Structure 1
Amino acid sequence: MSAQKHPNQMPELIKLYIKSCLIGFLASAVFVGLLIGFDVKGLRGLIMGSDIGIVAVMMIWIFNGIVFAGVQFAFAIMSMADDDDDEPRGGRPVKVFLAEPIPVRVDRPAQRRQG
């Protein structure tokens, strides 16, 4: 019998993406909490003094969550790379031209004295 996936089983890449999103939004929640807790640039005063402060907090959390989730997913994907990719694979060697500097004498024109 061949090993077939169950139709309801989620692909591994989707699982990785969802995990990265959860980590990113959790990191964003911590980040926003620290921003408000330390009152960076008077942010806590602005939020507490506004009647729609909760909307501002949600927007900061969501937008930072999108960025942090993207960074987390990119890190997870790039860390999957093999270490074998660092070795040279052959090909034709390229001659490198190393230019030697040549000193050039430049005479400055005489300046006229005024007065």
Structure 2
Amino acid sequence: MPELVRLYIKNIVMGFGLAVAFVGLLLWFNVANLWHLISTSDVGYIALALLVVFNTIVFAGVQFAIAVMRMAEDETPPGGGKRDAIPAQHVAEMVPVRVPVEPQSRKQLRR
């Protein structure tokens, strides 16, 4: 079996375990009254299965993404953010700009 497929299956199993634990905690702490809704409904088992399946998809995807990102090889040393001095010829000089303002009465301002 290819290594990447083995890694993916391993992360699906880990995601399933995390999803079961997460749904178990949701029901244990009765978040949004989920335990009551699932235990008193005649189709509560479907809701429970969907919670586990969809959380498995989410957690397995996150686990796999983290595993793939950790596989990256760091070949180049960090070199971003060089702060070289800006040459003086490119620095613009600040010049005040005068804007003439005509005095207006208060009646004209309220319109």
Which of residues 16, 20, 27 is equivalent to 2:18? Answer: 27
Cα distance change, pair 109–48 in 1 and its aligned pair in 2 (3 A): farther
- Tell me the amino acid that sits aligned with residue 36 of structure 1: L
TM-score, normalised by the number of residues in structure 2: 0.72
Gap runs ≥5 in structure 1: 1-9, 90-94
Cα distance change, pair 38–15 in 1 and its aligned pair in 2 (3 A): same
Instruction: Tell me which structure has the larger Cα radius of gyration.
Output: 2
Which stretches of structure 1, 4 residues or more, deviate above 6 A after TM superposition?
Answer: 97-106
> Which deviations, in whole Å up to 9, do the C-alpha atoms of 1:7-54 show, x marking residues without a partner?
xxx010010000010001110000000000000011111111100101
TM-score, normalised by the number of residues in structure 1: 0.70
The answer to whether residue 72 in structure 2 is matched with residue 81 in structure 1 is: yes
Gap runs ≥5 in structure 2: 81-85
Coordinate RMSD, CA, aligned: 3.2
- Tell me the amino acid that sits aligned with residue 75 of structure 2: D
- Tell me the amino acid that sits aligned with residue 56 of structure 1: A
Q: How many residues align?
A: 99
